[in-house]
């Protein structure tokens, strides 16, 4: 009876674990398939200076938990319009300075309204080619972020002629951390996120920033996990790209079809607990290809190659490892390797029981 009781208890525990895993998988799928339709999930609006907003109407939507505003854009405009100003005429330079001054006033006004109504606040910097440290300083001077406000680095693409390079983006993020004690999160599209994730060894900092993911599809079940990103922090699912007069994933009252709308796959109270972010995500161990070979007497050598994620320290001695150039190396990698012997090629092997 005792053994039977242990067996039943074990079955109950296994069943509970299975149910828990199934529930977790269902939640993960729900977060990747139109999560904005789940009324418990928080909605976040983000806007640039030309978006028209009727605040009284917008605030009637109680699902809206936060507002992220465009702050700085590249390097600051020239105030005096003397010297080299990117080939622009003096008249255009003065126009851009006036636009910059007005947009900064609008930013501060929107922040005052949003915070007074209990909305979470955030600001993003549109990254352009140019000195990343100067751009980081420009963003901080413009946005004046408080400790409870989100900071965002916006990378629109991977062409360094049009956008800040990924290498400079890491410098930008590092400088924000040096000045504020917090990292920004990363806003980008699928192509750029995939590039960073696939090359996370070269982009170790960017690949660990929480991801604000921009993709205008109802279903992203095939996307995550991606590199160090197990999930998105925010998903920008609606904009002028997929929102029109006849059809729109989510209509925000008091705004036009060009407003950007985002979802967090969590409740408002849960979002408030993580909102400022500021920390890096855990770095996943690399995928290492291990080649093992074996010889038994006069039998032909058997070999196998397998790619595995390494999770525990493994010491490779000088005698056991060779670099690509053929020179012996000492190395410590992180991992646990399970190699299945290719015994079918080895004669006279005792039968396993």
Supply 116's token pair: 């007074």
pTM of this structure: 0.75
Positive/negative CA dihedral, 9, 10, 15, 16: positive
Nearest partner of 291 among 278, 276, 313, 308, judged by Cα: 308
Between 77 and 9, the higher pLDDT residue: 77
Out of 3.40.630.40, 3.20.20.80, 3.30.420.40, 2.60.120.460, which CATH number does the structure's domain 33-273 have?
3.20.20.80
Q: Which residue has the tokens 């999770």?
A: 311
The DSSP symbol for 67 reads: E
The DSSP symbol for 266 reads: S
* pLDDT tens digits for range 207-249: 999 999 999 999 999 999 999 999 999 999 999 999 999 999 9
Q: Which residue has the tokens 């002629």?
A: 161
CA separation for the pair 173, 187 (Å, rounded): 12
DSSP string, 19-53: HHHHHHHHHHHHHHB-GGGSTTSEEEEEE-TT--B
Strand boundaries in the chain, DSSP class E: 42-47, 64-73, 120-126, 150-154, 185-189, 211-214, 234-238, 260-264, 287-294, 302-309, 313-316, 331-334
Mean pLDDT, range 131-158, rounded to an integer: 97
Burial class of residue 301 in the structure, from the number of CB atoms within 10 Å of its CB (0-12 exposed, 13-18 middle, 19+ buried) = exposed
Peptide bond into 145 cis (omega under 30): no
The DSSP symbol for 208 reads: G
Q: Are strands 234-238 and 260-264 parallel, antiparallel or unpaired?
A: antiparallel
* pLDDT tens digits for range 305-350: 555 565 544 443 333 333 333 333 333 333 333 333 333 443 444 4
CA separation for the pair 81, 288 (Å, rounded): 54
pLDDT of residue 92: 74
Q: Are 290 and 339 in contact (CB under 8 A)?
A: yes
pLDDT of residue 87: 62
CA separation for the pair 262, 238 (Å, rounded): 7
CA separation for the pair 215, 305 (Å, rounded): 36
pLDDT of residue 112: 98
For 221, how many CA atoms within 13 A lie in the half-sphere containing its CB? Answer: 9
* pLDDT tens digits for range 110-130: 999 999 999 999 999 999 999
pLDDT bin (cut points 50, 70, 90) of residue 89 is: confident
Mean pLDDT, range 78-94, rounded to an integer: 71
Q: Are 59 and 117 in contact (CB under 8 A)?
A: yes
Quickly count helices (H) and strands (E) in the chain.
7, 12
Supply 29's token pair: 């799928």
CA separation for the pair 170, 168 (Å, rounded): 5
Q: Is the pLDDT of residue 169 over 80?
A: yes
| pLDDT more than 70, % of the chain | 71
Considering only CA atoms, give the Rg of the chain. 27
Domain boundaries, the chain: 33-273
């Amino acid at each position: 009876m005792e053994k039977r009781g242990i067996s039943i208890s074990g079955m109950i525990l296994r069943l509970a674990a299975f149910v828990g895993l199934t529930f977790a998988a269902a939640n993960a799928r729900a977060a990747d398939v139109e999560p904005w339709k789940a009324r418990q999930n928080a909605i976040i609006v983000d806007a640039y200076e030309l978006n028209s907003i009727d605040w009284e109407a917008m605030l009637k939507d109680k699902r809206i938990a936060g507002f992220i505003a465009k702050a700085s854009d590249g390097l600051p405009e020239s105030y005096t319009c003397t010297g080299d100003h990117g080939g622009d005429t003096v008249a255009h330079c003065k126009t851009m300075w006036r636009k910059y001054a007005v947009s900064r006033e609008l930013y501060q006004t929107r922040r005052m309204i949003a915070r007074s109504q209990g909305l979470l606040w955030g600001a993003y910097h549109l990254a352009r080619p140019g000195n990343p440290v100067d751009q980081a300083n420009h963003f901080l001077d413009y946005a004046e972020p408080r400790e409870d406000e989100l900071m965002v680095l916006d990378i629109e693409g991977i062409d360094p002629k049009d956008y800040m390079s990924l290498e400079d983006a890491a410098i930008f993020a590092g400088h924000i951390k040096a000045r504020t004690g917090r990292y920004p999160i990363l806003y980008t599209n699928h192509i750029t996120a995939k590039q960073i994730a696939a090359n996370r060894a070269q982009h170790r900092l960017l690949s660990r920033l929480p991801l604000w993911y921009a993709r205008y599809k109802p279903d992203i079940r095939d996307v995550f996990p991606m590199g160090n990103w197990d999930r998105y922090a925010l998903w920008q699912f609606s904009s002028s790209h997929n929102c029109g007069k006849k059809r729109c994933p989510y209509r925000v009252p008091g705004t036009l079809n060009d407003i950007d709308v985002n979802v967090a796959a969590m409740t408002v109270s849960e979002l408030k607990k993580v909102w400022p972010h500021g920390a890096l995500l855990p770095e996943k161990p690399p995928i290492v290809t291990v080649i093992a070979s074996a010889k038994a007497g006069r039998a032909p050598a058997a070999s196998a190659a397998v790619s595995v994620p390494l999770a525990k320290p493994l010491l490779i001695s000088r005698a056991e490892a060779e670099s690509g150039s053929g020179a012996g190396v000492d190395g410590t990698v992180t991992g646990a390797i399970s190699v299945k012997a290719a015994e079918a090629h080895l004669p006279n092997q005792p039968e396993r029981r």
